[in-house]
Amino acid sequence: MPTGAITPYIDVAQVVLYAFWIFFAGLVIYLQRESKREGYPLVTGHKGERLEGFPTLPAPKTFLLPNGKTHSVPWNEPIEVLNAKSSAPWDGAPIIPLGDPMQDGLGPAAFTQRDTDPELMPEGEARIVPLRVATDHWVASEDPDPRGAAVICCDRQSPGTVVDIWIDRADQMAVWLEASLAADPARHVLVPIMLARVTGGAPGQTVKVMIKSVTAAQFAAAPALAHPDQISPREEDRLMAYFASGHLYATPQRAEPLL
């Protein structure tokens, strides 16, 4: 009976098996190369060193972004210079900040170098804007309105007053509180609403906004926006990291262990 053998030593099943092995090896190498479009070439602790590893990086692919710009990946991301020193001479050792870690973006204050243009809605309008721009949104009558309320920081000092609420049009939720500084009313600071606690609101009660992560001086020194009515993804990340890092960096007591 016929056996399907091509030669006395090779049959069709063996050829198919070898073909599958070759295909699968090629698929693994292809997927591994495609996974290197973000984050590669790797930046090490050695000055100017970048690593590709095996397999090599794929050919650059250019994407057309919704805002009309283009972005090619992989690409050589700029190497950040940290205002810190290593605590030991080996790779991976903890770093010691040399200045203000909250301003320098170190540790929990680190942020991603995202896009500097604001995110847009499908209609082309900015996604995250203050209520003075999104006039079709308002605060529900059942909720306390923080506008006009004093901001109280962890040192019990009030650096300013809330003047507006920023909303995410896509998610239909409030995401930022905008405060005007008492020492400089022209300067406004955005604080994540997730790190704020709005108290009061009942009849006869004064509405206050409690910010426990930073002191009043740190609140006033928060990074400013490039545009008064819009915020970019990079500014979002930096402000989020700045205020969140106060839970570790705001006071010397927070930076030390409990025991």
pLDDT of residue 3: 60
- 198 belongs to a structural domain: yes
pLDDT in tens, 4-13: 566 777 788 8
Does any domain span residue 30? no
55 within domain boundaries = no
Identity of residue 116? T
pLDDT at site 19: 95
Measured in degrees and rounded to the nearest 5, phi and psi for residue 247 equal -65, -20
Would you say residue 14 lies in a domain?
Answer: no
Q: Is residue 107 part of a domain?
A: no
Q: Provide the domain count of the chain.
A: 1
Which CATH number belongs to the domain containing residue 167 in this structure? 3.90.50.10
Domain that holds residue 151: 115-249
Does residue 10 fall inside a structural domain?
Answer: no
- Structural contact between residues 165 and 178, judged by C-beta atoms closer than 8 angstroms: yes
More confident residue, 61 or 204: 61
Would the pLDDT of 45 be above 90? no
- CB-CB contact of 133 with 227 (8 Å): no
Of the ranges 1-5, 19-23, 193-197, which one carries the lowest mean pLDDT score? 1-5
For the chain, percent of residues with pLDDT exceeding 70? 96
Q: Is residue 159 part of a domain?
A: yes
- What does the pLDDT look like over 126-138, one tens digit per residue? 999 999 999 999 9
pLDDT at position 100, please?
Answer: 92
Q: What is the pTM of this model?
A: 0.81
Model confidence at 53, in pLDDT bands (50, 70, 90)? confident
